[in-house]
Structure 1
Amino acid sequence: MADLAGIPKPIQPPYPTLAALRAAKQAVLPSAAGGKLLFWPLDGPTLETSGLAVMASPTNPDVRAPYYNATTGVWHPVSQLPISEPRVSSITVHVSELQYWEDNWEDMHCEHVAGDEGDDDGDAGGDECCGTARPVGKKDASVVVTGTGGVTEGGGGGGDFVTVHDYVMVVHPWLMGLRSDILGALGTLNGDDAPLPAETELMVSCNALDDLMMQTRAEWIRLTKKEPVAPPPGYSLRELMARNGRTNFGLFRQ
């Protein structure tokens, strides 16, 4: 919404959902003082042990403060800030790699089928190929984060905004429960028929708060610092996709 001068008006409580703003074709980004500063390893059974930290700036992961202070038992002040700009009352979160996993699996195996096993377009058929199972139903994984921030502004009643803490407290344990699937999806995305090793260090990229991307720690740091990527053969498919804003393995099929 804009005033007569064409200047967008700030959104006031009760706040809309992120989905409503998407439907209205309004951009929703991680907040400069909140979401953009998260250094978020996909590790640890609890948020306190996850290694989650707050960066000094969005491109400086080397300087950061712990999100949870184990000595004082206090969360970082950023925890109470809005996760997004503009503020929203709820966010339905998906994982990009899981949404495309089955499509990527089909693209990888489409030339391995013959006759009735594949359809007329060459898509892989059946529940298994090359000893790996089709990742059926993984794209539907989602979780809803409801806001609790700004009670004095919004007066409660379900119109409060999603804070950084609202978001990470719900999303981190949910992602940890999906970690094995995420490793499998990343393995397929890289052109392998096997998941990434269980000990792989993963990071959560929340540039799109409703459509998270998972990256290896080294890759995430490289992209966050905006460092140049080594030329082929140093490029991985994952890095190429991240650089070009793509997440579907099939987009690279000739």
Structure 2
Amino acid sequence: MIFKDGYLNDLDTLHQLPLEVLEDSILRIYEDKYLSLDTKADLLGDYLYFRKHILDRHFTYAEKNLQRISEMNNLLEIQTTEAIHKAWRIYQDELIEKTAHPNIYRNVSISPQLFVPNDLYNMIPEKVLTEKEERIWHVLCSCDNPKYRSNDILTDCGFFLTSTNIKYDLNMIIRKVVYGCEGNEKPTPWSMAGLDEKMIKNICFNWPFHNLFEFCGFAMTDILKIKKFNIVIKVEDEVL
């Protein structure tokens, strides 16, 4: 077996560990103050991957779970659209400011973003998470989760740039970000690797759901606990 800074780092062996052992190790790694940031991220990336693999493999396709998946798909579409509209309004305000003060105005880029709430357990009236599950949730939402840190839920949504003369088509931007549509194309039915395709064939997954599930380290059972995402509009000086 292979170890790294005292932690099992043999992928073949990790693949055989039960969920409880993986999660106990995830918490120890996350709370280990003696690990370098790079080592912690490497270890957590592997352990979270196998945790997700187990949970997705044992996901039950009961009617209520399929209904929750459909509801989550709708929620992501609604909140993605809301985020883009908020970014659009800020962009319009910035153009007004640029017109009013052209000599001193600094061009900015404006981008909508969605984030998983790291205080999920405080947002739900009923107690749905154990203390251990709350601690695991902190790990999933932290910058130490390398997949979540390096992958956005909203990808390729681009920026509203105040420096450009491009006439943005808001409706087309929404279609692009939500379903990957170009022009009048039909929505792209994004796949969800790790799930039973036959059981989810009637759900046309949107792009944000696909990104969250496949690239951010969250298992489907994690995602279905979310009631609402946090919207952040990022406004930055344009890089010349």
Q: When the two structures are superposed, what TM-score results if normalisation uses the length of structure 2?
A: 0.28
Higher relative contact order (CA 8 A, sep 6+): 2
Specify which structure has the higher proportion of strand: 1
